[in-house]
Structure 1
């Protein structure tokens, strides 16, 4: 079995059912599969072989869905790239992944052009739209006229995705998942959420993220659900979509729920079709969760806590468990084993802090071309997540901190070391530490604690502009503190937990 066989079955058995809706465009399952085939057959005609890596730097759209599945049908490996990245950031991923092609939206044509400069591996840049740079081809000219299923064998053991995440070094690492692993991710979410072909799904979070892609687009396409795709999250439009399309299963990061609650006269929209809600990617404040339950008039909320390296996979807190274990991250999801262990790999006692580890069918094969990092993360079949957690007597796990000092702002992961590497390039900065501080809207926001060089003063706007040359907008520090000395332990490591404690009250005033 592979990831697209179910899509082909849906095209045969329910050809006229609505599959994808994007803006004014609507596609049946027969048309969905045909559009995917036009991409797959074009890739094959261009010489794409099984195992070739192909990047997508695209926003949510119908075309993203077609190209993603087209890559898989051609036997290729999809490499989704965050469309918010700068050319320099994207360049690293394109090179590291060994991508031979890249698909991009027309407003990203320049970024992709710059990111591909000097990369001899990139054979073709395909632009979705009407404007392109030199050495690029438009998607309309690239697509094949052949809409039949391609005759290419793709095995369950073949690689399907390389999803990039950052490590403690700040350099992105490619998480390799084959068809088998992604299928198990989908089966797990289908069972957990009791999903069926009658569900109406709304894709709001970026599809380059493993959560929206593997937890919802893939299962929705397997089951034959009707799926509404939006390029970006708009609170009013979201409420309209739920009302108009009778969305039955809603997923959003906490920030999305927060914005929905701020919509004036939201009561005018009928949200009664929503029977289940999932949230994840960032902490969900208790007060916000209760308000969200009132807004949707249901207590069927699922807390989803997982890692890209897990497919994603990890622990879920089910609706009935919210009543007795409110605030916990949850217990191991379907088909997953989860533990909290000490430095020797032994289970910690209830209430003690240790490292959160998981084992399941959907845990990554490894980090692409990084055997040492893979060996550190995968030990005896277990994925060592690097997250610190506690476990109670009933087996419920609660994450308490992140070894990697990762910041989650509006559902986006920001790795402090990556930002610090850029800050240290500034000529007037002696030392820098990046932390996440509480934010009422975004959950956390990025703050930089700076020690200027003697006689120097750091201008906030100038420093933000400096960072903008190398960092995506959501990674740029929004708050900057200037101090004389960073707190360190005896080994010289910066005490970031102390900085977070020092500035959490001050930050709330920003």
Structure 2
């Protein structure tokens, strides 16, 4: 790769180009189990598995799936939170020659049915409490076999005995799972299955490892086809970026869900490659996370802005020792500078913003963790990753430094295309470039900035307004916990700027006060004309605020 302006900032420890391993992704688990089998792989509510145990159980899953008839290329849906079974299923499916379809446990029946039908999944692994939902849609899909597990299956004594009572109180259900021809009990598989399975020939560059569905904030989600090589290359880039962590074994706080591509790459796959211990948390609860950090002492904490915000707003955060945290890369949404600075002060570690998308496995850019970083920037492209800003006229003309256009990326982590959707594939992949749909610019030093989604840009009275710029200003107000800005219909300006605000606990501020504050930092046409105070904002499972949902709510109101 030719030298790029951002390469001037690379520290000597990070190569600009890497000789990537052309091997199936699941080989990492086999290699780590062979070299460091006694290292702890998973910690789950007091229960721990070594890499040797993890590998053995993944082999059992591979063997069992093949005994049910899994052929190379068959899809295996995994509908689990972060728990040992999610890691075992993932690697077991890959070992058997399958393609993983990560499925959000929060999906409604309609969403689940769409994904199972679209992916042509033949197998699904799910929690017992999700079985009623799966059973209702299964006969309308290609799914032939359901493997059912429960949280209690990997809890230590006596938690495993107590959990069914907690489950009944929390979910008002206790699901009894019976072994049938098409329904299979996880514990029985682990007790009875062998470890022998047929290793299929995998072409890492061409063969898919994963169908990862995009968020689907507008329209139906699209299945992103990611090959073994896409995923392996992004994990090895991530490893190179975190060069200081190689000196000693790491423990990684696994709060980001593995069914989200960022958690899958930056937590699960990176940990398996390096022999790090994953501290699994099936859901985000600020109190539980703070207790876990103090007790288990994780060193790496990949996350999303809402996770860090949630911890910072906890009234007792100063009572906990968070000093084990060395490095955090924030993804999935823009990281407010104020949040970055506060979190670093509390932990003593480094928190930097990164950037990526499902279609790129997912990471393409990040700030340097221990070297030059620029607040407000998404950083620079990762090794072997090229990036350009193209003018918005659609003629593939590169924009000048500082000029806003659409960000496009190119590299070994970029997807093969969208599953059964050649039209959308052709729309976003052009001459090897993945057009992200994000608007941004590159400065003269090669640092990149994202100002907003192309479809989220507000045009008010002929002016282009970027919501992120307005949000960054409002985040500086001491009373604001979370904020999202969107364009709403306006009969005079076409659109006008509206801010949806969540205040910090105990804080009070009026619309007039926020308006005065915003006018000190923004041009008049960018200042929100409407403020709406809310207790919470709609979010995805990984904590990304759903701006489009708020916009759709506004349209429904105005159309009544």
Q: How does 1:180-259 map to 2 (within 5 A)?
A: 180-194=229-243, 195-196=245-246, 198-259=249-310
Structure 1 residue 22, shift from structure 2 partner = 0.9
Partner of 1:109: 131
Conserved? CA contact 1:283–1:443, under 8 Å: no
Structure 1 pair 75–61 and aligned structure 2 pair: CA distance change class (3 A): same
Aligned to 2:532: 507
Among 115, 119, 122, the residue aligned to 2:143: 122
Q: What per-residue deviation string (whole Å, max 9, x for no partner) do you get for residues 304-349 of structure 1?
A: 11010011022111235665x2111211122211110112112101
1:174 aligns with 2:227: no
Select 1:274's aligned residue among 296, 313, 325. Answer: 325
Deviation by residue 1:69-97 (Cα, 9 ceiling, x = unmatched): 11101010000011111100111010000
Aligned with 1:347 (options 382, 398, 404): 398
TM-score w.r.t. the length of structure 1 is: 0.80
SS in structure 2 at match of 1:506: strand
Q: Which runs of 5+ in 2 are unaligned?
A: 1-22, 151-174, 458-466, 500-525, 536-560
The total of aligned residue pairs comes to 439
Q: Secondary structure, in 3 states, of the residue corresponding to 1:339? A: strand
1:45 & 1:136 partners in 2: Cα distance? Answer: 14
Q: Give the match for residue 378 of structure 2.
A: 329
Deviates more, 1:147-156 or 1:274-283: 147-156
**Secondary structure of 2:301's match?**
strand
Worse overlay, 335-344 or 260-269: 260-269
- Which aligned pairs between 1:469-484 and structure 2 lie closer than 5 A? none
Answer yes or no: is 1:392 the counterpart of 2:443: yes
Distance 2:226 2:29 in 1: 19
1:145 paired to 2:192: yes
Q: Distance in 1 between matches of 2:414 and 2:269?
A: 17
State whether structure 2 residue 356 is matched by structure 1 residue 306. yes
Residue from 57, 70, 74 that aligns with 2:79: 57
Match status 1:2 vs 2:53: no
| 1:156-178 alpha-carbon deviations (Å, 9 max, x no partner) | 23210000014685111000111
Classify the secondary structure of the residue corresponding to 1:67. helix
Residue number in structure 1 paired with 2:508: none
After superposition, the CA RMSD in angstroms is 2.7
Per-residue deviation, residues 8-51 of structure 1 (Å, max 9, x unmatched): 12222222211111113210111111111111110011110110
Equivalent positions of 1:37-48 (< 5 A) are 37-48=59-70
Give the structure 1 partner of residue 115 of structure 2.
93
Match of 1:249, SS state, is coil
Q: Distance in 2 between matches of 1:393 and 1:114?
A: 56
After TM superposition, the structure 1 stretch with the greater mean CA deviation from structure 2, 239-248 or 50-59, is 239-248
Ranges in structure 1 where 5+ consecutive residues have no aligned partner: 407-434, 450-484, 490-494
Q: Which has more strand, going by share of residues?
A: 1
